[in-house]
Amino acid sequence: MSLMPQALFDASPSWIILFVLVLARVSGMFLIAPVFGARLAPVRVRGALALFIGLAMMPLLSPERGEALAAMMTPLAMVGIVAGEIMIGSTIGLASQFVFGGMQLAGQLGGIQMGVGLSNLVDPQTGNRLTTMAQYSNVVALLVFLAIDGHHLLIRAVAESFDLVAIGNGMPATDGIGMLLTLAGAMFVIALKIASPVMLLVLMVNAAMGVLAKVIPQLNVFIVGFPLNVAAGLFGMMAALPYTIQLLVRSFYDVAGSVLTIVDELG
């Protein structure tokens, strides 16, 4: 271990160029991916972790590739290639965020139907203002993501991306961008599936309160209906929690399989 700093100082220009490109791809994932891109983690910690992961992935690449890149490298070409590597890493992180986006949207829909849409909290991960139910949904998604080692799946996806797209060859392609947009559209399907029990129960409560308002005109439906909507929404979320967890696990694994196909199409 004591030879590591000296080995880094004695590295050849081709090795340095190769490492910069690897670090760019890893850093792109760290910019957007859940857990790695959370604002709660200090920037220095995230930077050091990206540096160590980049060093760990260097044995996956052949030295000949670094020499070929060094022979053709110019300052302008370096900027373009680094941008392409950041784009590939960002694609991997962005694809995993779609599931979190669907879960947050489900919480927003459920919270508005329950009548708690005005109670906003600041999400510590993204800095956005979310309803309390959306914040709860985001925490559930994060716990499920960590329970299935989703952060390991992201690192593995970056490592396997070097086999699909050679370092320095990543350029945008129409097929890859189209597949990414299709995956983004699935976010709304996830949100509707998760929020549907809450929305259905609240709709039934509102329908029942409408009937009671006609049968008992003296009943103040605004005072009685609000706590009933909240109670029905909370009951629906708790009752559907096992189904929600299964849906999240399946969605995370589906994204892990789709992201490599998207990266392959981008190259």
Per-run averaged pLDDT (10 residues), the chain, 267 residues: 46 79 88 80 84 86 74 76 85 86 86 72 62 83 89 87 76 66 84 88 85 78 78 86 90 83 71
Biggest CA–CA distance in the chain, Å, is: 86
pLDDT, position 7: 47
- Angle (CA) 160-164-84 rounded to 5° is 100
Residues 6 or more apart from 34 whose CB is under 8 A from it? 93, 96, 97, 100, 125, 142, 145, 150, 151
End-to-end CA distance of the chain: 36
Residues 6 or more apart from 250 whose CB is under 8 A from it? none
Domain positions in the chain: 4-266
Give the CA radius of gyration of the chain: 24
pLDDT, position 86: 87
Residue 215 φ then ψ, to 5°: -75, -40
The distance from CA 227 to its chain's CA centroid, rounded to whole angstroms, is 34
Sign of CA dihedral 10, 15, 17, 21: negative
The pair of three-digit structure tokens given for residue 263, joined into one six-digit string: 């990266």
Read off the amino acid at residue 58: M
Q: Which of 32, 23, 31 is nearest to 82 (CA)?
A: 23
Residues 6 or more apart from 3 whose CB is under 8 A from it? none
